[in-house]
Amino acid sequence: MRIHIATDHAGLEFSTDLQAHLRSAGHEVVDHGPTVVDPLDDYPSFCINAARAVVADQRSGIEALGVVFGGSGNGEQMAANKVLGARAALVWNVSTALLARQHNDANLISIGARQHTVDEAKLFIDTFIAEPFSGEERHVRRIAQLAEYEATGLIVGHEID
């Protein structure tokens, strides 16, 4: 599987370790930056580029997912979710990694590098990658509603104030 990774300065050390871990598991890893520690770096472009690449790969039929990192993971998740078709979930334990895939068909996860050890992050990522989307009708319907809202600003049959 192709895994797109992006971070900010707080997650750069995590990113390096996790890329090696993912490559050793047989995944193709694409690093969207940064490449050097800069406490003043701006993470949005890195995370948006990773999310755009995941969405483009999936639309082309390439099996791909993404992982973004930051101090808390919050801003990185927000940046990734600005990309049409991206469904980035903030993951902080194994359960949230499982549910991100099972219920939300998330195609990216965000992890707070200052909140977890590298081993915890590896576990979350491995769990996320291994877990398939359930395909349950209720989840398919809800994901379709999110996509509809992204595209039109409406959800047919549901009132949006």
- Residues acting as catalytic residues: 76, 103
For residue 153, the tally of other CB atoms under 10 A from its CB is 8
Rounded to an integer, what distance in angstroms lies between the CA atom of residue 102 and that of residue 83? 21
Long-range contact pairs involving 24-27 (C-beta distance under 8 Å, separation at least 24): 25/126, 27/1, 27/2, 27/3, 27/129
Closest CA to 13 of 71, 52, 64, 66: 71
For residue 32, the tally of other CB atoms under 10 A from its CB is 21
Rounded to an integer, what distance in angstroms lies between the CA atom of residue 20 and that of residue 123? 14
Rounded to an integer, what distance in angstroms lies between the CA atom of residue 19 and that of residue 41? 20
